Copies of this chain bind each other. A is one copy, B any other.
Amino acid sequence: MGSSFGKNINVSIFGQSHSASIGVVIDGLPAGHRIDMEKLGQFMSRRAPGRNEYSTQRSESDTPVILSGLKDGVLCGAPFAAVIKNTDAVSRDYSELSDKPRPGHADFTAQMKYNGTQDHSGGGHFSGRLTAPLCIAGGIMLQLLEEEGIKVGAHICEIAGVRDFSFDPVNVSEEDFDRLRASSFPVNDPEAGEIMKTAISAAKKAGNSVGGIIECAAIGLPAGVGDPMFDGMENMIACTVFAVPAVKGIEFGSGFAGSRSMGSANNDPFTCENGMIRTLTNNHGGILGGITSGMPLIFRAAIKPTPSISIEQDTVSFSTKEKAKISTKGRHDPCIVPRAIPCVESAASIAIYDSLLGSRIYRKGENR
């Protein structure tokens, strides 16, 4: 049941790289909210392939078709369902995969799990293409979060080891998000961005690939959202962000670096501004004990280099159990970090909105 998520909503994603359609059903969304389809389309386009020279040339319109859940453009309480048709699927590119697993891909593990009955074409259900329905769900959540005064944004924090300026953990703002969203290569430091692009181009020329880090923030979140232990905000966000292919690490606030600080430096002192308690610094990344503090929620996700490279690699043949060579010839991104930005925003938004629905802040009956 790995393709379903949610405690208060049920997000169920389906499709394979080359199935008739891919799509998503979201059950449990509150009724009465208008969905701005144009805004959803704009959000989707940030993930769409073929957007710039660094991304795959596969061009799908990626326009979601709404099947149900809306009445005159407003969520009507019935499950929301949307699909995207797979029109530009070129299955022949992948014929080799049924026998020779690509290093760094799920071909081998899928073979072991499904015993050869899985859909190999284009990586099947494990394809990055499945982030399109994730982004449909995320795009919806972003709009619902905005109605609660919550914004989510992300930037390229690192590519090929080149570091962008981090978000100001205390003062990251909506303006930051707006600026980043307007860019096809969203960085805080344009100079670093240029070096990153050079690294990507070099990797592309060499038939190789590079990875990076995405930093994501949510602002406007009230304090008190999330649960102790297993359903903390870190747990839930990790649970959705690792659903984005190629993510291999996540850290909140000062994260791994913070583990090298002293307690006196890593603890965030409390202060009171206009009757509102906040922290002076934000090493905790907006989460303490799994629960939001009202400070910006900040995390970083490590994205491995695209496993699809045209350089020849060692593999084996399932059928002969002998060593073999493979070089991935399809249309692939030398660096998926830029296109993964809206995916990470989507994953975070799904987790945050689900937690918000279950929180006291959202429920009236508690602590009256």
Contact = CB atoms under 8 A, between A and B. Distances in A.
Interface string A49-70: 0000000000000000111110
A187 to B, nearest CB: 16
A307 B288 CA distance: 11
17 contacts: A2-B227, A15-B78, A30-B363, A31-B114, A31-B367, A74-B117, A103-B269, A109-B223, A110-B289, A114-B367, A209-B264, A245-B289, A248-B256, A251-B302, A266-B304, A266-B307, A267-B307
Given A364-B362, A364-B364, A264 B230 contact: no
B81 A32 contact: no
A37 interface: no
A345 interface: no
Give the most central of A4, A130, A161, A250: most B CB within 10 Å.
A4
A243 to B, nearest CB: 4
Instruction: Enumerate the 9 nearest inter-chain pairs by beta-carbon distance, A residue then B residue, closest first.
Output: A106-B289, A2-B227, A249-B251, A209-B263, A2-B231, A78-B125, A238-B238, A269-B314, A112-B224
Contacts of A90: none
A253 B262 contact: no
Interface in A17-76: 19-23, 25, 27-28, 30-32, 65-69, 71, 74-76
A289 B105 contact: yes
A313 B281 CA distance: 13
Interface residues of A, number: 160
Given A14-B27, A83-B67, A232-B2, A78 B124 contact: yes
Contacts of A258: 211, 248, 302, 304-305
A344 to B, nearest CB: 13
Contacts of A251: 248-251, 256, 302
B248 A314 contact: no
Contacts of A138: none
A244 to B, nearest CB: 9
A97 interface: no
A263 B12 contact: no
Interface string A315-357: 1101001110000000000000000000000000000000011
Q: Which of A67, A308, A314 has the most CB of B within 10 A?
A: A67
Contacts of A209: 262-264
Interface in A200-235: 203, 208-213, 222-232, 234-235
A192 to B, nearest CB: 14
Given A19-B67, A261-B304, 7 more contacts: A14-B25, A76-B118, A238-B238, A248-B284, A249-B252, A263-B305, A263-B307
A195 interface: no
B10 A269 contact: no
Nearest to A230: B5
A304 to B, nearest CB: 5
Contacts of A255: 248-249, 302
B15 A67 contact: yes
A290 interface: yes
Contacts of A158: 259-260
A19 B68 contact: yes
A92 interface: no
A316 B106 CA distance: 50
B266 A250 contact: no
